[in-house]
Amino acid sequence: MELTSAFILHQRPYRETSSLVDALTRDHGRVSLVARGLRQTKKRSSPIQIFQPLWLSWYGHGDLVTLSQIEKDEPGYRLLGNASLCGLYMNELLVKLLPVHEAEPDIFDAYRQALSSLQQNNNEQITLRLFEKALLSHLGYGLALTVDVESGEGIEDDGIYIYHPDSGPHRVFGQRLQNTVSGRSLRHLEQETGFDELSLKEIKHMMRSVINYYLGGRPLHSRQLFAGLNQFNTKTN
Amino acid sequence: MAKLGPSIDELISALRCLPGVGPKSAQRMTFHLLERNRDGGQRLVQALSHALDNVKHCKRCRILSETELCSRCDDHRRQQDVLCIVEMPSDVLAIEQATQYQGQYFVLSGHLSPLDGIGPDALGIPKLIDWLDKNIIEEVILATNPTVEGEATAHFIGELARARNIKVSRLAHGIPLGGELEFIDSSTLSHAFSGRESL
């Protein structure tokens, strides 16, 4: 087969010098590979890392194929500080949500764009939310952001809604409920612009519940990293 | 494989728990021990069971140790206010051999890896925080590997230390001594270039 554009999402050691690799490829979706001898250090080349654009090819059939060729494309994305934790979060999301061998070039492009945006230190919250939105929509779980699914009316800026992952926004009146999202925040997410602190906070909670729904109860460990950072720091302060 | 008897088969399969030992090597080792070196086998049995009974992790730095505190943590002549954080016990030995460092160590036994389910708790971070909170630490030296996961781990611990007003430093990335620029891989060279020092 021809070389295809790819990123490694995760690798773990297998036998003495081999690795089991989870890769996101542009033309074949997510692929699990056995990479024989990948951990053997060759002179003049540094080991393959995540966030590094690659060219890959493999042979074999079924869920686990064997890596035949691997080459580095342009320089890898260098995520520093919090951006590296965000990158690990995106990788975990992809491994847990993407089925194997389903080509989805748009997801690959969205991932690449998000990495580049994280590298440039753009707002991490916005980058992650837009990536999540793109990922869900290309997986076929696109968000409904323009109409109240109960009444069929358009979303109003000052309306308060509850977002049901399987249907969409439902308007609620009067009572103060947990996990609501304002029409204004839904509009920001729909138009992908105008975000502020309040709308990002609401959208984050809404996205978390939607993603949890599709994860079907499996935990995201990288989320605990962010939580851990806050928790360990607030204990003393 | 032809069956030679349950004890021999059991020994062969037990030896395969060692890294780098496959069925063939395990068989060779077994025959060697049983045919030619029974004394060596006895010694191995005693050394192994003695070590398994007596070696634990140091209460403070988590390195392997026969005593509650390892010899480095127990040595009061070492600096008490500098703490070097490494991924593996072998990193401690490497730093000890290569440098004049005279401070304390903390061994994480790995790095953060959400997809393997390794979070802060598995790396002993609560214990580390306890240490940072209860002792006067002037500087935390982050000596995790220069991989993406190592950097993420360093960042995580760095944030915790910074929140406690502790100076945080990270090992430099650079060109190996005696190396030639032409032959260095591009990512190392670009790190070395962006991290250049003024003279």
Q: Which chain A residues are Cβ-neighbours of B112 within 8 angstroms?
A: 88, 225
**How confident is the model at residue A237, as a pLDDT?**
45
A85·B19 Cβ contact <8 A? no
pLDDT bin (cut points 50, 70, 90) of residue B77 is very high
Q: Which chain A residues are Cβ-neighbours of B133 within 8 angstroms?
A: 236
Taking residues B70-75, report their average pLDDT.
Answer: 90
**How confident is the model at residue A111, as a pLDDT?**
96
Q: Give the residue from A58, A30, A35, A57 showing the smallest Cα distance to A47.
A: A35
CA atoms within 13 A on the CB side of A98: 31
B143 vs A144, more confident: B143
Identify from A11, A21, A46 which residue to disrupt to test chain B contact, counting B C-beta atoms within 10 A and taking the largest count. Answer: A46
pLDDT bin (cut points 50, 70, 90) of residue A44 is very low
Residue type, A99: P
**How confident is the model at residue A93, as a pLDDT?**
94
Which CATH architecture group holds B6-45?
Orthogonal Bundle (1.10)
Q: Is A26's pLDDT higher than 50?
A: yes
Q: Quickly tell me which residue has 């076929």 as its tokens.
A: A140
Q: Average per-residue pLDDT in chain A?
A: 87
* 0.90 surpassed by pTM: no
- Domain borders along chain B are 6-45, 79-198
Q: Which chain B residues are Cβ-neighbours of A95 within 8 angstroms?
A: 115
Strand order in the sheet with B167-170: B104-107, B82-86, B139-142, B167-170
Residue type, A14: Y
Nearest CB partner across the interface for A233, out of B119, B149, B163: B163
- Domain borders along chain A are 4-138, 143-215
Strands B82-86 and B139-142: parallel
Nearest CB partner across the interface for B148, out of A49, A224, A229: A49
Q: Which chain B residues are Cβ-neighbours of A236 within 8 angstroms?
A: 133, 163-164
Strands B167-170 and B56-57: unpaired
Domain A4-138 has CATH 3.20.10.10: no
Query: A18 Cβ partners below 8 Å, 6+ apart?
Result: A34, A35, A36, A37, A38, A39
Q: Is A38's pLDDT higher than 90?
A: no
Domain B79-198 has CATH 3.40.50.11540: no
Q: Is A204's pLDDT higher than 50?
A: yes
3-state class (DSSP) for residue B95: helix
A232·B129 Cβ contact <8 A? yes
The CATH classification number of A143-215 equals 1.20.1440.120
Q: Where does B83-197 have alpha helices with state H? A: 89-98, 125-134, 148-162, 186-194
A10·B115 Cβ contact <8 A? yes
Q: Determine whether B172 is exposed, middle or buried from the number of CB atoms within 10 Å of its CB (0-12, 13-18, 19+).
A: exposed
Q: Is B180's pLDDT higher than 80?
A: yes
> What ipTM goes with this model?
0.82
> pLDDT tens, A226-237?
888 887 776 544
Q: Which chain A residues are Cβ-neighbours of B114 within 8 angstroms?
A: 88-89, 91-92, 220-222, 224-225
Using only the alpha carbons of chain B, give its radius of gyration.
22
> pLDDT tens, A77-97?
888 888 999 999 999 999 999
